[in-house]
């Protein structure tokens, strides 16, 4: 029914979300702002989390989205704990949590806690935040993790998550963090589906947003060429998605899709993606690598993540 060119409004046509509460991270630009706008315009009560609240307020005002905000810096466990404690003290529950925030292809950087920036922000920050607020997710709720086709660059490395003994590459680190986002959805879904809470990972598609702010023009051009070549192998020209098209899969997985269909799965273009083997990888325009859905890999990542953040969930 929906596909690559579907927008948030296509997906939400005729849907009334009055009475639903939604929490979205990364609402200061791009996909986060559009996701908040779309869901709130259909009646949902939305709370947004952002590192820079002034920037978020300005972006949301321009988009016409009137939502509550909480300060959250995913690159700081102290901020993660403060934000989650604030929400827990408030006590109001959520039907949907969308982990939208993230960074991509950064130079070698560390979080406030000494983690490699992309793994620490994209995965560990969300890992701690969502697990800490898990009691606020209603029975039958939904968790959506913003992953990426970038997960196909690399599996997680649980022996050296901070690149202390392996050579750092911006996209290798990005791939690890995005694989971790998918694996988190797999394990969170396994742990909480007994009460109807389902978790899915989504790839929004190729979109030009602030996520690429650390990348050079040459690097962006190289990515475009790779995507054009990959799409060309399937007989279709490459086009960047619009932001409403990019946010559509998040909204679809959160609101429209059946929980049993998307729970513990990786989705793209408003459908569940197929698994892509190593042999198929170069020619594929989409799909998910098997290691990102491996339940043993997901359980091992969970245990390592608990060790790294110093909390057991």
User: Active-site residues: which are they?
Assistant: 174
> Would the CA dihedral through 202, 208, 214, 216 be positive or negative?
positive
Bin 287: left if φ > 0, else alpha if -120 < ψ < 50, else beta. left
Radius of gyration of the chain (CA): 18
> What is the Cβ-side half-sphere exposure of residue 156, based on CA atoms within 13 angstroms?
31
Counts for the chain of helices (H) and strands (E), in that order:
11, 8
Give the span between the Cα atoms of 189 and 69, in whole angstroms.
26
DSSP character at residue 35: H
**Two tokens, residue 313:** 């969930």
Q: What's the Cα-to-Cα distance from 156 to each of 127, 166, 216, 273, rounded to whole Å?
A: 15, 12, 25, 20
Would residue 92 be called left, alpha or beta, if left means φ above 0 and alpha means ψ between -120 and 50 degrees?
beta
Q: Report DSSP letters for 207-269, one per residue.
A: B-SGGGTTS-HHHHHHHHHHHHHHHHTTT----PBPHHHHHHHHHIIIIIS-HHHHTT-EEET
Residue 163 gets the label, from left (phi > 0), alpha (psi -120 to 50) or beta, of left
- What does the buried/exposed string (b/e) look like for 23-53 if buried means 16 or more CB atoms within 10 Å of the residue's CB? bbbbbbbbbbbbbbbbbbbbebbbbbbbbeb
Q: At what angle do helices 170-192 and 295-309 cross, to 10 degrees?
A: 100
């Amino acid at each position: 029914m929906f596909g690559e060119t579907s927008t948030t409004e296509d997906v939400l046509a005729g849907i009334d979300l009055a009475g639903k509460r939604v929490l979205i991270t990364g609402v200061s630009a791009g996909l986060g702002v559009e996701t908040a706008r779309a869901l709130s315009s259909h009646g949902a009560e939305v709370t947004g989390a952002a590192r820079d609240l002034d920037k978020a307020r300005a972006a949301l005002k321009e988009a016409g989205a009137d939502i509550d905000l909480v300060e959250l810096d995913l690159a700081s466990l102290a901020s993660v704990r403060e934000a989650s404690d604030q929400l827990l003290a408030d006590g109001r529950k959520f039907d949907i949590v969308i982990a939208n925030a993230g960074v991509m292809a950064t130079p070698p950087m560390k979080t406030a806690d000494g983690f490699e920036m992309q793994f620490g922000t994209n995965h560990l920050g969300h890992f701690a935040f969502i697990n800490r607020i898990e009691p606020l997710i209603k029975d039958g709720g939904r968790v959506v993790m913003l992953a990426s086709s970038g997960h196909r660059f690399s599996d997680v490395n649980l022996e050296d998550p901070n690149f202390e003994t392996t050579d750092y590459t911006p996209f290798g680190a990005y791939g690890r963090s995005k694989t971790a986002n998918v694996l988190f959805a797999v394990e969170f879904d396994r742990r909480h589906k007994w009460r109807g809470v389902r978790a899915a990972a989504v790839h929004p598609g190729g979109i030009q947003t602030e996520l690429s702010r650390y990348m050079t023009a040459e690097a962006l051009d190289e990515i475009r060429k790779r995507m054009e070549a990959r799409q060309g192998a399937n007989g279709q020209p490459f086009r960047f998605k619009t932001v409403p098209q990019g946010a559509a899969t998040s909204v679809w997985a959160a609101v429209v899709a059946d929980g049993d269909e998307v729970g513990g799965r990786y989705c793209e273009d408003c459908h569940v993606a197929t698994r892509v083997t190593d042999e198929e990888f170069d020619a594929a325009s989409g799909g998910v690598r098997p290691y990102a859905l491996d339940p043993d890999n997901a359980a091992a990542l969970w245990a390592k993540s608990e060790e790294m953040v110093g909390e057991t969930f």
